[in-house]
Amino acid sequence: DQQVKQNSPSLSVQEGRISILNCDYTNSMFDYFLWYKKYPAEGPTFLISISSIKDKNEDGRFTVFLNKSAKHLSLHIVPSQPGDSAVYFCAACTYGGATNKLIFGTGTLLAVQP
Amino acid sequence: NAGVTQTPKFQVLKTGQSMTLQCAQDMNHEYMSWYRQDPGMGLRLIHYSVGAGITDQGEVPNGYNVSRSTTEDFPLRLLSAAPSQTSVYFCASSYPRGTTNTGELFFGEGSRLTVL
C-alpha cells in the first residue's frame, strides 16, 4: 500500500516557466512533509519542508503548498532553470515521528528545457 | 566536512554470499537510517536508529541486519544475498526535528549492489 504517491513519473518544462510537482498521501497521521531532489549517481538532497500546521512554505524559488483536506501537497519552482532537472521525491512522517522514518513517494523526473 | 560516507560504492555478490555496507557520519547526528532505491519504488526504509544501541525495523527489513555501537557508524549487513536485494542503498543521518531545525535527512552518495 503506497502511502505517499507521486502519480506523474515525469514532467517537462521550459526554462523560465513554472514547474509544479504533485504528491498525494493517504495516511492522515502524517504531519510533516519534505521534498528532496536527486541527481543521478548522487544521494537525495533536502529542498524544503512543511508542517501540517501551515499551508504554505517558501524558500527562494521553491514553494510548497499543503492541502490537508485533500491530502495533497505540491512543489512549485519559479522560475525553472536547467539545473533543476532531477528526480524530485516527496516524503512524509507522522506526528512525533522521527524524520529518519520518512515514507517516500516514487519520484517525478523533472526536465527543464533550455 | 565529509558528511555521510558510504563504502563500497559498487559491489557485485553471488547469491548466498554475505557482506556489510559501511556508513559513517561526522555530524554527531543521533538519527541514522538505511534506505534502498529501486526503479518505480522510490526509497524504502530498511532499518533505522535513534541513537547508539537503539535500532528498529523499517518497511523492508527482511534479509538485513544492523547495529549501532557508536553514534558515528551504522553498518548494514546482508546475511545471505539474493537477487531481489540488487538495488542502490542509501545511508542517511539527521538531528531530531526541533524548533530550530527541520530534522531533514542528510544522505550519502549511495552503494550500488548487484546480486547474481
pLDDT digits (tens, 9 = 90+) for A42-57: 999 999 999 889 999 9
- Rounded CA separation A53/A109 (Å): 29
With beta carbons less than 8 A apart as the criterion, state whether B47 and A98 touch.
Answer: no
Which 14-53 residues of chain A touch chain B by CB within 8 A? 32, 34, 41-46, 49
Residues of A in contact with B4 (CB under 8 A): 43
Kindly identify which residue of chain B lies nearest to residue A107, measuring between CA atoms: B42
What pLDDT, on the 0 to 100 scale, is given for residue B100? Answer: 58
What pLDDT, on the 0 to 100 scale, is given for residue A87? Answer: 96
User: Could you give the percent of chain B with pLDDT greater than 70?
Assistant: 94
**pLDDT tens per residue, range B91-104:** 999 887 665 567 78
Dihedral (Cα; B100, B37, A108, B30), 10-degree rounding: 0
Extended strands (E) in A1-114? 4-5, 10-14, 19-25, 30-38, 45-51, 56-59, 62-67, 72-77, 86-94, 103-104, 108-113
> In this complex, which of A6, A49, A103 lies closest to B102 when CB atoms are compared?
A49
What pLDDT, on the 0 to 100 scale, is given for residue B95? Answer: 80
User: Could you give the percent of chain A with pLDDT greater than 70?
Assistant: 95
**What integer is the mean pLDDT of A97-109?**
84
Average pLDDT, chain B: 92
Interchain pair B42, A105: CB under 8 A:
yes
- Rounded CA separation A95/B93 (Å): 19
Interchain pair A106, B40: CB under 8 A:
yes
What pLDDT, on the 0 to 100 scale, is given for residue A8? Answer: 95
What pLDDT, on the 0 to 100 scale, is given for residue B104? Answer: 81
